[in-house]
Structure 1
Amino acid sequence: MEYRLQCTLLAALAGAAGLAHADTGKLLLTGGVSTIAGSAGGGLTPWAVVGTNATAGEVGFSGHATRAATQDYSLNGYGVAVGLHERVELSLARQDFDASPAVALNGIAPFGVVPGQHIQMDIVGVKVRVAGDAVLDADRFMPQIAVGLEHKRTRPGSLGSVLDFLGTRTSGTDVYVSATKLFLAQSLLVNGTLRYTNANQNGLLGFGSAVPGKNSRSLQPEFSVAYLLSKNLAVGAEYRFKPNNLQALGAAAGLGAALREDDWKDIFIAWAPSKHLSLTLAYVDLGRIVPGITNNRRQTGYYLSAQVAF
Structure 2
Amino acid sequence: MHPIHWISTVACTTGLCTLLVAASTARAETGKLLLTGGVSSISGSAGGGLTPWAVVGSNATEGEIGMSAFTTRTRTRDYGLTSYGAAMGWNERVEVSVAKQDFDAAPAVALNGIAAFGVEPDLHLKMDIIGVKVRLLGDAVLEADSAMPQVAVGVEHKRLHPASASRVIEFLGADTSGTDVYVTATKLLLDRNLVLSATLRSTNANQNGLLGFGGSAPGRSRRSLQPEFSVAYLLRRDLAIGAEYRFKPNNLQAIGASAGLGAALREDDWRDLFIAWAPNKHMSITLAYVNLGLIVPGVTGYRRQNGLYLSVQAAY
- Please give the range of the TM-score, normalised by the shorter of the 2 chains: over 0.9
Alignment pair present for 1:114 and 2:120? yes
Aligned residue in 2 for 1:49: 55
Alignment pair present for 1:218 and 2:224? yes
**Which of 9, 30, 41 is matched with 2:36 structurally?**
30
Per-residue CA deviation, residues 216-265 of structure 1 (Å, 9 max, x unaligned), is 00000000001111111111100000000000111011110000000000
TM-score (norm 2): 0.90
Q: Which secondary structure does the structure 2 equivalent of 1:165 belong to? A: helix
Which amino acid is the alignment partner of residue 103 of structure 2? Answer: F
Is the 8 Å Cα contact of residues 241 and 264 (structure 1) preserved in structure 2? yes
**Which of 192, 195, 199 is matched with 1:189 structurally?**
195
The 5 Å alignment of 1:136-215 reads: 136-215=142-221
Unaligned regions of 5+ residues in structure 2, if any?
A: 1-27
Residue 58 of structure 1 deviates from its aligned partner by 1.1
Is the 8 Å Cα contact of residues 246 and 260 (structure 1) preserved in structure 2? yes
CA distance in 1, matches of 2:305, 2:64: 41
Alignment pair present for 1:99 and 2:105? yes
**Which of 207, 232, 249 is matched with 2:255 structurally?**
249
**Which of 262, 268, 273 is matched with 2:279 structurally?**
273
Identical pairs, percent: 71
Alignment pair present for 1:229 and 2:220? no
If asked which structure has higher relative contact order (CA below 8 Å, sep 6+), I would say 2
Unaligned regions of 5+ residues in structure 1, if any?
A: 1-21
CA distance in 1, matches of 2:34, 2:273: 20
Moved segments of 4+, more than 3 Å: none
Is the 8 Å Cα contact of residues 36 and 59 (structure 2) preserved in structure 1? no
CA distance in 2, matches of 1:267, 1:30: 21
Per-residue CA deviation, residues 258-306 of structure 1 (Å, 9 max, x unaligned), is 0000000000111110000100000000000000000000000000000
CA distance in 1, matches of 2:274, 2:60: 24
Number of residues paired by the alignment?
289
Which amino acid is the alignment partner of residue 239 of structure 1? Answer: Y
Is the 8 Å Cα contact of residues 35 and 59 (structure 2) preserved in structure 1? no
Residue 60 of structure 1 deviates from its aligned partner by 0.5
